[in-house]
Every structure is written in structure tokens, then in C-alpha cells.
Amino acid sequence: MTQKPEMNGMLSTLRAIPGLRRAWPGHLDSGSTSVSIECVDGKGRLRAGHVTTGAAPELLPYAADPALPALSAGLTGALVVHRVGRRAVVMEEARVRKMVRPHKAASLVRAHTTAASVLRVTGLRTPRILSNNDNVVDFELLPGRSLNELGDAGLPGWQRIAESWSHLARAEADLPVHGPRQEAEVLRRWCASAQRYGVIDQPALLHEQVVDTCLSLREDDGVRIIAHRDLHDGQLLWDGIELSLLDLDTAAVAEAALDLGNLWAHADIMAVQGRLGLEAHAQVRGLLDNLARTLPTTAERLETYYRSSALRLVFVHAFRPTAHQWLPIWVRHCLGHASPFMPLDLSNDWNNS
């Protein structure tokens, strides 16, 4: 399918922004034509703002955001996340400060506290809440580096998560439900956003995969347990002794295949990016395969949730120009029989994507 000329505009616009780190499409129902961005300016500072197709980015001043009153230029740490109007994260010497919109901190604290309590059975370390108010939550700063950063050196951490996560097989929690319907809605929304902004190749074929996956999601609804809902290599810190799990505010009750499928898809992307070697990647897949056998799910549900995560990651990374070095390989994977149980083709023959 050939894209209309204007459909490539947003991707070209994003590629032209110096220091761009991440970008998020606006909500479809908001009518917004802009994309939220996070970039590093010429002084090495993290800046947030918006951009519309063909225009220069509109960046907020450093460490300023009218929607986040707790954020100010008088930071005592490093600003590491700033999504305009939504949240900011500051890393200090002994704590991590999460700043959200007024009245939003309470739900974050509630989800984190509930999930941390249930997750104790895994033996994984989770950050303690040091203090909180209406729009700020302070967490302890935990040691270690993410499995994302560690690459092959993080194999002991992958072994720990595979051993620990099996303890959740019968865990229950008073958390929101994220069932097949909610998962399908998330996938459809990301697909629609990528199509709307014209940032993907082969949109018709990818849309067909999304439709089929959403139908598969709705065919069944398995046993529900506690779920992190954003479980991936960047959320897991390994210090050589303990494995820590971050960002519990998305916690929900869901099928076990939700977290496992997402974690598996991220492990495969690590291999596509070259951050996991072939041998290490095979070991991680073996660990996750063993974990799957201990959880209340089936191979069919795991495959469906894996495909949902794999497709969603196409659309998420399509808004990040640096991903376009490896994204064609991942798109080809998704247009083929994307499965956690099939070999991953890591060849660079993008002409087949």
C-alpha cells in the first residue's frame, strides 16, 4: 500500500528534531493534531513539548510544566522523564520523585501499595514509598542496573524473574481489571494513532494482524492473577544479588499471559536490537518457556498476548525515529507468524519486511 505524501510528514518532522528521545501521539478522541515529545536540548537538559507536522517543536522551559506544579527549575536531582502535562521523574541521591497532576498521586500510591504487598510472595524487591502528597510521590532509590542496560550480563536477573514470577500463580489483589477487552482497546488505539499520523509502512497488513489478534483476545478469558501490566526489561533492576521491580502504578488483575507475553516480546526486541546475543537470547527464551509452564495460562493465550504486545510495540516505536534502524525486522516478524515459540529471524534483509 502506497502512503499519501502527507502521511510521511509527521515521521519526517520527528526525525528533524535534535535530541529526540520519545514521542507519544495525542488521544484520538481529543482531536489533537500534535504529538507530545521528550528531547535533550543543546545544553544536555531534558525538555518536553509538542510538535505538529511540518512545524518546529514547541518546547516548555526546562523543568517547567503548568500541569505539574511540583516541577521547577530548582531541582536537586536529574530530570529523567518529562511527558508534558502528564508526569515527570527526578532522580535524587537517595530517592526518586514522581510528579503528577494535582489529585493524581493518591491512585498511584494505592496501586503501588496494593501490588507491592501481593508481590512480596515473589521475593522481588520493590521501592518503598518515602512520602507523598497531592501530586508528588517519593520512592526509595534502589540499586542495580536494568536488564535492558545489562544485556547478556543480565542473565542471572532473567533467571531470578523466571523463578520468582511463578509464585504469582494463585495471587489475588484488589486492583482494576485489565481483561481481553481492555487489551484489545489498547492495541486498536495504538494502531489507529500510527495510521492517523502515517508513521508506519504497510499499514493495511498491520491492521489485518491487529484485527485478527483482537478477535483472538476476545475468544477466551483465562484465570486472572495480579499483573504488573508493563513488565519489561527496563522495569527490572539487577544488582548482582537482588532483582527489583519498578513502576507498580499500572498494576491490575489480568491473565497471566499478559505480563509474560509482554516480557517475552521485549526480550525478542532486545535480540533484534543486538542487546542480547544469540546464546543469551536462547537462554532467556528457555527461562520464559519454563515460567509459562508454572502459570495458569495456555500456549494459545500466551501466543495471543505475545502478538498483542509485539504489534503494540511496532506502533509505539514507530514514533521514535531511532528505532527505524531495527523496526523493519520487527515489522516483518509481526507480519509473519509472530510467536514466542517460533525462531526469531534476525537477518537484515529488510526488503522482505
Residues 38 and 150 in one domain: no
Residues 225 and 80 in one domain: no
d(CA 20, CA 196): 21
Q: What is the CATH number of the domain that holds 81?
A: 3.30.200
Residues 292 and 265 in one domain: yes
Residues 130 and 250 in one domain: no
Percentage with pLDDT > 70 across the chain: 95
Residues 46 and 79 in one domain: no
pTM: 0.93
Average the pLDDT over 138-154 and give the result: 97
Instruction: Using the 3D structure, point to which of 17, 36, 59 is the last residue of a domain.
Output: 59
CB 119 within 8 A of CB 237: no
Tens of pLDDT, residue by residue over 53-80, are: 999 999 999 999 999 999 987 888 999 9
- Tell whether the model's pLDDT for residue 350 goes beyond 90: no
Which stretch, 5-9, 151-155, 166-170, 334-338, has highest mean pLDDT? 151-155
Residues 135 and 156 in one domain: no
Instruction: Using the 3D structure, point to which of 9, 43, 59 is the last residue of a domain.
Output: 59
Residues 154 and 195 in one domain: yes
Residues 306 and 333 in one domain: yes
Residue range of the domain that includes 33: 1-59
Residues 31 and 102 in one domain: no
d(CA 307, CA 324): 20
Using pLDDT thresholds of 50, 70 and 90, give the confidence band for residue 9: confident
Residues 298 and 209 in one domain: yes
Reduced 3-state DSSP string for the chain:
CCCCHHHHHHHHHHHCCCCEEEEEECCHHHCCCEEEEEEECCCCCEEEEEEECCCCCEECCCCCCCCCCCCCCCCCCEEEEEECCCEEEEECCCEEEEEECCCCHHHHHHHHHHHHHHHHHHCCECCCEEEECCCEEEEECCCCEEHHHHHHHHHHHHHHHHHHHHHHHHCCCCCCECCHHHHHHHHHHHHHHHHHHCCCCCHHHHHHHHHHHHHHHHCCCCCEEEECCCCCHHHEEECCCCEEECCHHHCEEEEHHHHHHHHHHHHHHHHHHCCCCHHHHHHHHHHHHHHHHHCCCCHHHHHHHHHHHHHHHHHHHHCCHHHHHCHHHHHHHHHCCCCCCCCCCCCCCHHHC
Question: What pLDDT is recorded for position 24?
Answer: 95
Question: What pLDDT is recorded for position 3?
Answer: 40
Residues 89 and 21 in one domain: no
Residues 169 and 302 in one domain: yes
Give the chain's mean pLDDT. 92
Average the pLDDT over 19-45 and give the result: 88
d(CA 120, CA 92): 26
Domain count, the chain: 3
Question: What pLDDT is recorded for position 222?
Answer: 81
Q: Which string of b and e fits 215-250 if b means at least 16 CB within 10 Å?
A: ebbeeeebebbbbbbbbbbebbbbeeeebbbbbbbb
Instruction: Using the 3D structure, point to which of 113, 141, 169 is the last residue of a domain.
Output: 141
d(CA 32, CA 197): 11
